[in-house]
Amino acid sequence: MAGDAAGAFGAAFSDMFGRLQGLTLPQEQVAGLQGEYLKSIGQIWNDTLQRLQQGESKPLPDRRFAAQPWLQNPAAAYTAQMYLLNARTLMQMAESVQGDAKTKARIRFAVQQWVDATSPSNFLAFNPEALAKAVETKGESIATGVKQLMEDLGKGHVSQTDESVFEVGRNVATTEGAVVFENELFQLIEYKPLTAQVHARPMLFVPPCINKYYILDLQPENSVIRYTVEQGHRVFVVSWRNPDDSLKDKTWDDYIEQGPIRAIEVVRQISGAETINTLGFCVGGTILSTALAVLAARGEQPAESVTLLTTLLDFSDTGILDIFVDEASVQLREMTIGAQAPAGPGLLKGQELATTFSFLRPNDLVWNYVVGNYLKGETPPPFDLLYWNGDSTNLPGPMYCWYLRHMYLQNDLKKPGKLTVCGEPVDLRSIEAPFFVYGSREDHIVPWKAAYASTQILQGPTQFVLGASGHIAGVINPPAKGKRSYWTNTKLPAKADDWFAGATEHPGSWWTAWADWLKPHGGKRIAAPKTYGSRAHKAIEPAPGRYVKAKA
């Protein structure tokens, strides 16, 4: 059986060698890799024979094959080792391909996807853990797995958590508040004060429109919104509508004018404050910054401060997402769902975006659940963040296509006056406010150096803080947990590496540093309001409102 497995792997690997050789691989490197490969096969075979003779079971260097059934079954262990050898060698070949940086990145990504998908752990016949569980449960695990597979096919996505446990407004998005304004694009939520006095200047959060806002309000203990309210700020949050066909023709201009510009106006009306503190997260930070630049062009400076969390203003470095963007791909989107599409504008379906982001980390966010849910018949444990991750959001085609072309493809936002939005030339340098810019060190969506690049564009006093972990986990890091760390440096050199070289690491959450920075911008303390909204903007319904509950 082991010999048959070796032959099958060898045939597949030889075929892949041939395919990659057509991509201008240096022949001397190919020959070297082939030699190392054959040598490694011999070593694996000898190790397997030795283990059979001595009865030893050495752990394999991959958590997919760490369980005892993989070690106790010599054929399974051999198969896993051959797979890991093939995977390693294929990635070495992908690294050796000659070509421009984007072509090489695309090849690496494609090979990595193929490698991850073909892991023997993903197939029932090759997974000794799943087979052992099937025997132990007398086939019940397989029956449950098939049932869960059919349910997920109906949902249109692989379940990453037990979705039945969560309900928006019941045990996620639970901070008390009320909707005080709504239009066709968003609802504005005001939150109930948790202190007797609040800062005179209110706080407006602009979350990303490609996700639901409650990533900032998952549970009371990890809610950015609740934490900000606890610091004595009067907090308002934009809750974007999940677009349906009635909104499929909305543009970037619509999102700027009817989104943050309108929200800023309403918050100022309700609070009576001339200026307000603002925060944008991810795409929400791009939208907020654009809106403030539009208002600056109109002679208005409503922001007392601006906080940007994992936000791109300079799209020179978009990380792994760069492989999906070129002129041809953007034109295809424009012709199918854009403003000039022959069949008319359409929607970018939320599930398409969610699937794309999941396959950026396929072993963690796809195949792990395929194995657990379907092969082993296990129900994934409840996890609020993964529930939010699966609660996808549509986007209007014209808005998305404009964003894709002018930001990701052409990187126009950082160029003063290059873009015209809402009839005004956009110049980010015209925003007269202090900035708090945050990046996450392991972020694969907004690389931290790309977040840092904003400091070289903005003209107001700017502080950059770098947090540990990734795009979401780095941001959602409450101080009470005592987890991770963050870095600070008051100097802002041109290069991000130079900033980091002079930075100081601090244990715990960056939230405390942000709270200290934000406090003086809040203004004097006044008695907390006893009711939501104002005479002109009365409470419409309790938070979290209707819009956030709409499914894509």
- Over residues 96-134, the pLDDT tens digits come to 888 888 888 899 999 999 999 999 999 999 999 999 999
**Greatest CA span in the chain, whole angstroms?**
84
Is 499 a domain residue?
yes
Is 341 a domain residue?
yes
Report the CATH number that the domain containing residue 205 is assigned in CATH: 3.40.50.1820
Q: Does pLDDT of 483 surpass 60? A: yes
pTM score of the predicted model: 0.91
Distance CA 285, CA 279 (A): 7
Written in H, E and C, the secondary structure of 472-522 is CCCCCCCHHHCCCEEEECCCCCCCHHHHHHCCEEEECCCHHHHHHHHHHHH
How many domains are there within the chain? 2
Q: What is the DSSP letter of 362?
A: H
Same-domain status, 26 and 92: yes
Same-domain status, 126 and 205: no
List residues with catalytic annotation. Answer: 282
**Which of 136, 167, 199 finishes a domain?**
136
Average pLDDT over residues 447-470: 97
pLDDT band at 14 (very low <50, low <70, confident <90, very high): very low
Tokens of 409: 């493809």
Query: For position 23, what pLDDT does the model report?
Result: 59
Same-domain status, 8 and 88: yes
Same-domain status, 471 and 529: yes
Is 495 a domain residue?
yes
Vertex 325 angle, CA 319 and 331, to 5°: 165
Mean pLDDT, the chain, rounded, equals 92
Q: Does pLDDT of 31 surpass 90? A: no
Residue pLDDT, tens place only, 499-538:
999 999 999 999 999 999 999 999 999 999 999 999 999 9
**Which of 136, 166, 196 finishes a domain?**
136
Same-domain status, 324 and 462: yes
User: How far is residue 352 from each of residues 286, 368, 552, measured CA to CA in Å?
Assistant: 21, 19, 11
Q: Does pLDDT of 179 surpass 60? A: yes
Average pLDDT over residues 218-225: 96
Query: For position 8, what pLDDT does the model report?
Result: 42
Same-domain status, 83 and 18: yes
pLDDT band at 3 (very low <50, low <70, confident <90, very high): very low
Find residue 436's DSSP bridge partners: 307, 463
Is 126 a domain residue?
yes
Same-domain status, 219 and 308: yes
Higher pLDDT, 232 or 103: 232
Same-domain status, 132 and 209: no
Average pLDDT over residues 428-436: 98
Would you say 330 and 401 are in contact if contact means Cβ atoms under 8 Å apart? yes
First to last CA, the chain: 47
Same-domain status, 130 and 183: no
Residue pLDDT, tens place only, 342-394:
999 999 999 888 888 888 889 998 999 999 999 999 999 999 999 999 899 99
Is 371 a domain residue?
no
Same-domain status, 131 and 186: no
Is 162 a domain residue?
no
58: exposed, middle or buried (Cβ count in 10 Å: 0-12, 13-18, 19+): exposed
Would you say 464 and 489 are in contact if contact means Cβ atoms under 8 Å apart? yes
Query: For position 55, what pLDDT does the model report?
Result: 65
Would you say 187 and 239 are in contact if contact means Cβ atoms under 8 Å apart? yes
Same-domain status, 313 and 421: yes
Same-domain status, 241 and 339: yes
Query: For position 6, what pLDDT does the model report?
Result: 40
Structural domain harbouring 343:
177-349+392-549
